[in-house]
A and B are shown apart, each in its own frame.
Chain A
């Protein structure tokens, strides 16, 4: 397997992975979507809420706020040694929101949260939670826990995780009359014409729409579009809770754990 990084930053990552197969890519994708844990609020104690939004509405919004996650310090509640329903310092973080609008209408933002642990905070300070008219007040305590995407979307670590075959587009120079129809048809600007020559660039942006093949007037077609079934372009876009690299590493660890577990089960079945 050969991996080439096409693009990488804290939020998103694009990899070209060669010499593998679709089942493995799909396993990775499904683990990233549903098993990589992140922090999110799952319990809200509302002490006072005189805003225009009902308690449930407000709690739902707070739950969806992505929190920066520290996977090394915190445990999943089901794996925590405390075994308590309420949680302990290693499986729960409390965030307090106490805002009152005095004589102006204000916007309550995610930056108004006071977290017990200053590293577990919303990924953005600008998320508007609710608006308060003069004299309206909100006082609540929110409890964040680690969780998995398969339990609720608020724990999903990514907003996008996809893979596609590596596209192959070839132009047969003997059949091509350089009419430029395929250049016009390509919505991703992959095919370009320089002088009399049809050239292909940024092939990883191709969506394999086949428009270039349909546009070609020659018979047989001068443009050929296909894909490599052993090469993939794998893309991740994090919600900001974890870095894109950490998500991929965590997913591989989880897959590893699953395979070890599977191997352990095998001899038992044989006897």
Chain B
């Protein structure tokens, strides 16, 4: 849904790292290097970001389009 606040296994804070991570990976950088820069050195925390899919962005799109349709004159 949305990036978890903490790593499921160890409890390290990861909720503030997703946007930075996904931006740099989208720009074509190696994910492993970005994770190293973020200071995530345990594999439990690394998989949290590597395997994450931000589904809330897909869901929010329905609310956004619903809003636009409402505003359209009938």
A residues sitting closer than 8 Å to B (CB atoms) are: 52-53, 57, 61, 64-66, 105, 107, 110, 123-131, 133-136, 153, 156, 158-160, 237, 239-240
Considering only CB atoms, which chain A residue lies closest to B6 in the complex? A64
Q: Tell me the minimal C-beta distance from B58 to chain A in angstroms.
A: 10
Q: Count of B residues near A, CB < 8 Å?
A: 23
How far, in whole Å, are A156 and B10 apart by their CA atoms in the complex?
10
How far, in whole Å, are A64 and B4 apart by their CA atoms in the complex?
9
Considering only CB atoms, which chain B residue lies closest to A66 in the complex? B13
Q: Which residues of A contact B57 (CB under 8 A)?
A: 131
A53-B1, A65-B5 known; A131 and B60 CB under 8 Å? yes
Q: Which residues of B contact A110 (CB under 8 A)?
A: 15-16
Instruction: Pick from B15, B19, B57 the residue with the most CB of A within 10 Å.
Output: B15
Whether B47 is near chain A, meaning CB under 8 Å from some CB there, is no
Q: Which of B5, B18, B63 contacts A133 (CB 8 A)?
A: B63
- Against A, the Cβ 8 Å flags (1 = close, 0 = not) of B8-45 are 00111101101100000000000000000000001000
B60 close to A127 (CB less than 8 A): no
Instruction: Pick from B4, B7, B12, B59 the residue with the most CB of A within 10 Å.
Output: B12
Considering only CB atoms, which chain A residue lies closest to B10 in the complex? A159
A52-B63, A133-B63, A160-B42 known; A128 and B12 CB under 8 Å? no
Q: Which of B12, B56, B59 contacts A239 (CB 8 A)?
A: B12
Q: Which residues of A contact B42 (CB under 8 A)?
A: 160
Q: Which of A64, A127, A159 contacts B16 (CB 8 A)?
A: A127
How far, in whole Å, are A129 and B64 apart by their CA atoms in the complex?
19
Q: Which residues of B contact A159 (CB under 8 A)?
A: 6-7, 10-13
Whether B67 is near chain A, meaning CB under 8 Å from some CB there, is yes
A128 close to B19 (CB less than 8 A): yes
Whether B2 is near chain A, meaning CB under 8 Å from some CB there, is yes
Q: Which of A52, A64, A131, A136 contacts B5 (CB 8 A)?
A: A64
Instruction: Pick from A64, A110, A129, A133 the residue with the most CB of B within 10 Å.
Output: A133
Q: Tell me the minimal C-beta distance from A55 to chain B in angstroms.
A: 14
How far, in whole Å, are A65 and B64 apart by their CA atoms in the complex?
28
23 of the cross-chain contacts (CB-CB < 8 Å) are A53-B1, A53-B2, A57-B1, A107-B19, A124-B15, A125-B16, A126-B19, A127-B13, A127-B15, A128-B2, A128-B19, A131-B57, A133-B60, A133-B64, A134-B67, A135-B67, A153-B11, A158-B11, A159-B13, A160-B10, A160-B42, A237-B12, A239-B12
